[in-house]
Amino acid sequence: MSGPARPSVTLRDVAVRAGLSVMTASYTFSQPQRVSAASRDRVLAAARELGYQPNAAAKSLRTGKANAVGVVFSENLAYAFRDPQAAQFLAGVADICTEHGLGLTMLPTSGGREDPTVIASAPVDGFVFWTTTADDPTLAAAARTGKPVAIQGGPSVPGAECIGIDDNQAAQAVARLALHGSHRPLILSFPLSPDRVPSVTTGIDPDTATFPVTRNRLLGYRIAVTQAGLSWPDTTTAVLSHNDRTEASETARDLLAGHPNRYDTAICMSDEIAAGVLAAAQQLNIAVPQTLAVTGYDNGPDAETLQLTTVDQDLYRQGRTSAQAAMNLRPAPAMPSRWRVCPRATTRPGGDTGG
Amino acid sequence: MSGPARPSVTLRDVAVRAGLSVMTASYTFSQPQRVSAASRDRVLAAARELGYQPNAAAKSLRTGKANAVGVVFSENLAYAFRDPQAAQFLAGVADICTEHGLGLTMLPTSGGREDPTVIASAPVDGFVFWTTTADDPTLAAAARTGKPVAIQGGPSVPGAECIGIDDNQAAQAVARLALHGSHRPLILSFPLSPDRVPSVTTGIDPDTATFPVTRNRLLGYRIAVTQAGLSWPDTTTAVLSHNDRTEASETARDLLAGHPNRYDTAICMSDEIAAGVLAAAQQLNIAVPQTLAVTGYDNGPDAETLQLTTVDQDLYRQGRTSAQAAMNLRPAPAMPSRWRVCPRATTRPGGDTGG
DNA sequence: CTGTTAGCGCTTTCAA
DNA sequence: TTGAAAGCGCTAACAG
């Protein structure tokens, strides 16, 4: 019978006030040219007088459109606001939403069993995923809805558009700079999989990484290490639990303290991690790049200040492209995004910049 | 795997398959204890077999609940991802959303005339505003919906809950530390109003600031300056256009270059701004705190590293509180949030730490 | 415990 | 150009 208390003015109220039918009132807003100027004016006047505001849920139920982009961070939503790379990406998503009047709905996945249901029932028209794994159940749930899906950084799965750069190539390129004059490289890696177990190992197998971003960068690093004439089985990789400056700094300090010459290069999967390593080096009075060369990834806001050699990629634009793909706003699938190496002062001079 | 865009499975389909009525199917999900175990099992089995997922729009239309928090950044949505303080705050909002299975919908305001309509029609149950002005039309639109509204940092308006600290008191307290042994203080301020016009003036009138956060901090600074026996009319305030490290650094460089003794203290409205000032001081070889004392505000992630004297406040928790207020998840209005001064190494020793 | 009824506010369809 | 009818998929209310 009567639903919950609803102070809102409906289209029916407006129509009654204007002395016209509900449909004329509806057309006044959706197809104004179909309505006579006189009726239109009466409807608009009535709407203004009553303070009419359309009901999004009703419109959505009827049309099947939600006018919103769904953003999924498979692990922890708050992470979206803590990872500077994610923030850059989301700024791009946000701008597309603003330009098209679309809501940006961040979906509350908790890592629990209901996540697929949350995704499947989300009132959105398409999904933007932040880097995840191929076996992510929320990704499968999104694909099952039949709505468009865009994924930053992979995995590439059927029915979803993958937005990002060629991480293998870019990792190779920056590692070549890092490895110039190096004999004992250290790699600081993103987590291998959502369990986020940290580790320190030698000769890590890139295929043990289920995050495609991690896997592809490790693959690129391995190629560069091997091509530099060094032994991958002897190369140490420290896997962090998070893309976090503080954790990177502590890990680097643990590995370098008391053994300032154990490693002569730190190849880092992000500028954040590299910033942590640089902080540790400063604390330990290790000269950069003479004693320790350092590279990052992303060319974020701090890279220039730190004079960090890194990979430039435009995550803001990737955010825009992802949102467009998720809302079918562009005709053709996006091309792989561009990248380039930025040689700066944290690597030894003379390295090869060729990509 | 991806599958075609299947027509969605409705509750009716499930009910038919289970050989029961639609209401029994509905109750199975909403009030399971009301349904016999046998029926429940048949409904659940049918739902699973058909891949049933509830339709959020229909539920929302019927119940009047959207199960989502609306977040409003009056000026530019992408700013939410660029301001580190906003990010901390939003992480708190996001965690409440995750804990309660609520969507976090960032509303696409563009600064244009349709913004109030966007707000009024937003499919959300309550609003969280990031610091704005009393005359913000989107704020009026949100209040008019009758839904709960929480505003970080003010303004306090009828029908909206204001979340934040006593900025006047906190600004006084940190400024007292900053002014210890100071004769020529410089204030670096947030913009006064949404027009974001930068300026450098002396004896600024705090009441010209329409952002309450800016106004209250300026009021606090003025009290501290006066109580320190200094002249407010002679005190310089540089108003920035954004809470941005780079802009702060450039402004500080302009003001200090060639006149290293013109100012002996920089009182900054955020850690970001303070970080920019510290960078400028380093470039200009100005000793901190001997030649230039510096204070920030917020005690953000970098404050400890920089050894920055600042005001500690918990923006993450304020985000949680705001989201709870916007969803009526707490019985009583929130108390003013706590703050304290963090004396560190960027101010001259001996200052009064009393609040 | 289960089912029937009556819509939530809007728009597509089809007639007038 | 306007309007009546028919729901979109779901659930509060009220019988059985």
Q: What is the pLDDT of residues A296-328, one digit of tens each?
A: 999 998 899 899 999 999 999 999 999 999 999
- A106 to B110: CB separation less than 8 angstroms, yes or no: no
CB proximity B282 to A under 8 Å: no
Q: What is the pLDDT of residues B137-162, one digit of tens each?
A: 999 999 999 999 999 998 999 989 99
Cα A290 to the center of its chain, rounded Å: 34
Task: Tell me: pLDDT of A246 over 70.
Answer: yes
Reported as a single tens digit per residue, the pLDDT across B90-122 is 999 999 999 999 999 999 998 899 999 999 999
**Interchain CB distance below 8 Å, A157 and B91:** no
* Residue pLDDT, tens place only, A201-240: 999 999 999 999 999 999 999 999 999 999 999 999 999 9
Q: Which residues pair with B315 in a beta bridge?
A: none
Q: What are phi and psi of A218, to 5 degrees?
A: -60, -40
Asked if the Cβ of residue B56 lies within 7 A of any atom of strand C, the reply is: no
Q: Min CA distance, A333 vs chain B (Å)?
A: 17
Q: How far is the CA of B117 from the C1' of D1 (A)?
A: 28
**Do A105 and B56 meet the contact criterion of CB atoms below 8 Å apart?**
no
| Identity of the residue numbered B19 | G
Instruction: Mark out the alpha helices in chain B (DSSP H runs).
Output: 11-18, 22-30, 37-50, 56-63, 84-100, 115-120, 137-144, 167-178, 212-227, 245-256, 271-283, 303-306, 315-326
In Å, what is the separation between the CA of A354 and the C1' of C12?
59
Cross-strand pairs, A265? A185, A293
Q: In angstroms, rounded to a whole number, what is the distance separating the alpha carbons of residues B59 and A17?
A: 29
On whether the CB atoms of residues A263 and A235 are closer than 8 A, the answer is: no
The CA distance from B182 to the nearest CA of chain A, in Å, is 30
Residues A143-188: tens digit of each pLDDT:
999 999 999 998 999 989 999 999 999 999 999 999 999 999 999 9
Q: Is the CB of A29 under 7 A from strand C?
A: yes
pLDDT reading at A350 higher than 50: yes
| Closest by CA position to A330, among listed A341, A339, A321 | A321
* Residue found under tokens 């909002």: B93
Strand C atom within 7 Å of B20 CB: yes
Distance A19 CA to D2 C1' (A): 12
Is residue A149 within 8 Å of A72, Cβ to Cβ? no
Residue type, B261: N
Give pLDDT, residue B7: 61
pLDDT at A352 (0 to 100): 52
Among B310, B297, B289, CA closest to B353: B310
Cα separation, A279 vs A293, in Å, equals: 13
Q: Which residues of A touch B94 (CB under 8 A)?
A: 77-78, 80-81, 106, 108
Cα A55 to Cα A52, B62, B296, B353: the distances in Å are 9, 12, 44, 53
Q: What is the pLDDT of residues B191-216, one digit of tens each?
A: 999 999 999 999 999 999 999 999 99
Minimal C-alpha gap between B174 and chain A (Å):
27
Find and list the nucleotides of strand C having atoms within 7 Å of a protein beta carbon.
1-13
- What is the C-alpha separation between B176 and B184, in angstroms, rounded? 13
What's residue A154's pLDDT? 85
Footprint of strand D on the protein (CB under 7 A): A 1-3, 20-24, 27, 34-36, 38-40, 58, 61-62; B 7-8, 10-12, 22-23, 26, 29-30, 54-55, 58-59, 61-63
**What H or E segment, with its residue span, contains residue A222?**
helix A212-227
Q: Which element (helix H / strand E) includes A326?
A: helix A315-326
Mean pLDDT value of segment B46-58: 96
A residues 104-163 closer than 8 Å to B (CB): 104-110, 114, 117-118, 120-123, 143-147, 157-160
Q: Which residue has the tokens 């939410």?
A: B80
Amino acid at B287: A
The Cα–Cα gap between B55 and B31 comes to 17
State whether residue A155 is helix, strand or coil: coil
Instruction: Answer positive or negative: Cα dihedral of A261, A262, A266, A267.
Output: positive
Asked if A103 and B107 come within 8 Å (Cβ–Cβ), the reply is yes
pLDDT, tens digit, 9 for 90 and up, residues A251-303:
999 999 989 889 999 999 999 999 999 999 999 999 999 999 999 999 998 89
B85-to-A296, B52, B96, B307, B317 alpha-carbon distances in Å? 25, 41, 18, 18, 12
Q: How confident is the model at residue B76 (pLDDT cuts 50, 70, 90)?
A: confident
Integer Cα distance of A64 and B55 in angstroms: 10
Q: Sign of dihedral through CA atoms B104, B109, B110, B114?
A: positive
Q: Which of A67, A104, A135, A161 to probe the B interface (max B CBs under 10 A)?
A: A104
Question: Residue A265 and residue A268: Cα distance in Å, rounded?
Answer: 10
Q: What is the pLDDT of residue A341?
A: 98
Q: Is A56 on the interface with B (CB under 8 A)?
A: yes
* Nearest nt to the A52 alpha carbon by C1': C9
Nucleotides in chain D near protein beta carbons (<7 Å): 1-5, 7-14
Return the closest nucleotide (C1') to the Cα of B35: C1
Cβ of B328 near strand C (under 7 Å)? The reply is no
